[in-house]
Each structure stands twice: as structure tokens, then as C-alpha cells.
Amino acid sequence: MEVRGYGQFCPVAMASEVLGTRWTFLVIRELLCGSTRFNDLRRGLPRISPALLSKRLRELETLGVVARAHDAASGNPVYRLTEAGEDLRPVVMAMGFWGQRWLESQLSLKNLDPSLLMWDMRRNLNPSPLPPRQVTVQFLYRDVERGQRRWWLVIDNKPGSGAVDLCMIDPGYDVDLHVATDLRTMTAIWMGLMTVREAIRDGTLQLVGAPEIKARMQQWLGLSVFAREG
């Protein structure tokens, strides 16, 4: 049971463990979230083997859910959802809300993973509440092993941009905000199980840095899409 898990805290993953063909819903979720390249998909699904990902993509292609193409510029293969694939969004969302509501307490916080959390945060971050310049936020997970303890989000928020980079090695920029917490707390916030304010009051989250960035963390931190109604 344990060995076969997806190692993900995402509610879709938890629902899929019993209901779904292995990895299939998660591949679709990654595509729905906007990943298009093979190794981007692998990044969102760290435990999938390349052989199986390839197989799943071919199956979904046969089913008419995925279309394989080549990027005009780079010539790299890209995978996109067809209209039928996009239409699976309600199914995946329904699974996610159900998992969030009914499986969260059992599984969510047993499948912590800093890289998936940070990768999701990078993807959903909302730069608009941030000042219109480059912003660097450092995350320190006190309870995580040395190699994955520190992360940097570098948000290029100059007007017209909005790109977010995720680094595991110090990018060298001045840090605008230091976030220190434990992985479980940050994941719970991300899942909408608690708020930034509550975590600060509990003493499980500390913020040091620019007050205007600190104050709006709950806003620029885009929450998991399943966090709202859960």
C-alpha cells in the first residue's frame, strides 16, 4: 500500500489511488495545469518511470485526449490536451474536491514532498499583489533534509512580465522575504487547511523581510485549486 503510493499530497492523487488506473489521472492533471513537455510532466510526477509516462501518453493519444505535436520554434515534441482532454477538467476537479473533502485527513499530510509543493507554488503563484519589480522569496523548511531544505522563488514582476523561477541553489539576489516553517505547515496552508495568519500565530511560520510582501503573502501565494471549497 505504501510502496505503491504516488507520493503526492494532491487530492487527485489520493482519490486516484483507489479509483483510477495508475498515474492516468495525474498525467491528465499535469496537462490540465499546463505542462506540455515530457520532462515537465516527469517533474510534476517524480515517481513515474519514463517508460510508463510514455505508455500513458500513447494511450491517451489513442483515446483522443492528448495530441502530440512539435514546437515550431524548438522542434521539441509537445503534448497538449485535445478538446476532449480539456473536457476532462470537470472530472479531474470532481475527483480532487472529493479527495480533498474525504481523504485529506487520512493521506494528505502523509505525502509531504517539498519539491512538489514548491513546483506547484511556482505554477500557481499570483504576482499581482507583489511590487512591480523582481522579488526574491526564500523558503526554509526546518524539518527537511539538507538537500531540499532551502528554496528560492524569483518572481520577475516588472511590468509586462510575471515569470516565476524556482531555484534550489542560492540565486544570489537579495532576499525580499525569508519564510521559515516546517513542510507540513506550508503544505497545510497550500491546501487551504490553515492560513498564513494562523500559522504565524501558532509560531510554526516565521516571516522576515519587506512588510508589504509579508502582509500579502496569503494573496500572492496562489492556493491549490482544491483549497477553496474543500
Partner DNA sequence: CAGTATCCGATGCGATACTG
Partner DNA sequence: CAGTATCGCATCGGATACTG
Interface size with a second copy, residues (CB under 8 A) = 23
By a kind-dependent CB cut-off of 5 to 8 A, residue 54 interacts, out of DNA, a second copy, none, with: DNA
4 binds, among a second copy, DNA, none (CB under 5 to 8 A by kind): DNA
* Residue 98 interface partner, choices a second copy, DNA, none, CB cut-off 5-8 Å depending on type: a second copy
Contact window for a second copy (CB under 8 A) among 34-42, 60-68, 194-202, 204-212: 60-68
Mark residues 66-105: x for contact with DNA by CB under 7 A, - for none. ----------xx-x--------------------------
Which one of residues 8, 10, 17, 23 is an interface residue with DNA (CB under 7 A)?
Answer: 23
Q: Are 93 and 229 in contact (CB under 8 A)?
A: no
Kindly report the number of other CB atoms within 10 A of residue 132's CB atom: 12
Q: Is 150 left (phi over 0), alpha (psi -120 to 50) or beta?
A: beta
Which range in 2-10, 67-75, 86-94, 179-187 contacts a second copy by CB under 8 A?
A: 86-94
Q: Residue 208, interface with a second copy (CB under 8 A)?
A: no
Please spell the DSSP secondary structure of 159-206, one letter per residue. TT--EEEEESS---SPPSEEEEE-HHHHHHHHTTSS-HHHHHHHTSEE
Restricting to residues 99-158, name those near a second copy by CB under 8 A. 101-103
| Interatomic CA distance for residues 63 and 84, integer angstroms | 9
Compute φ and ψ for 80, nearest 5 degrees.
-130, 155
* Nine-digit cell string for 225: 485549486
> If binding means CB under 7 A, how many residues of this protein chain bind DNA?
19
Q: How far apart are CA 84 and CA 88, in angstroms?
A: 7
For a second copy, which is the closer residue by CB, 26 or 217?
A: 26
* Residue 86 binds to a second copy (criterion: CB under 8 A): no
What whole-number distance in Å separates Cα of residue 230 and Cα of residue 14? 14
Interacting positions 34-53 with DNA (CB under 7 A): 37-40, 47-52
Distance CA 18, CA 106 (A): 14
Closest CA to 108 of 200, 26, 13, 2: 13
C-alpha cell at 18: 483507489
Closer CB to DNA, residue 39 or residue 206? 39
**Residues at the site binding a second copy, with contacts judged by CB under 8 A:** 15, 18-21, 24-25, 59-60, 63-64, 84, 87-88, 90-91, 94-95, 97-98, 101-103
**Residues at the site binding DNA, with contacts judged by CB under 7 A:** 4, 21-23, 37-40, 47-52, 54, 58, 76-77, 79
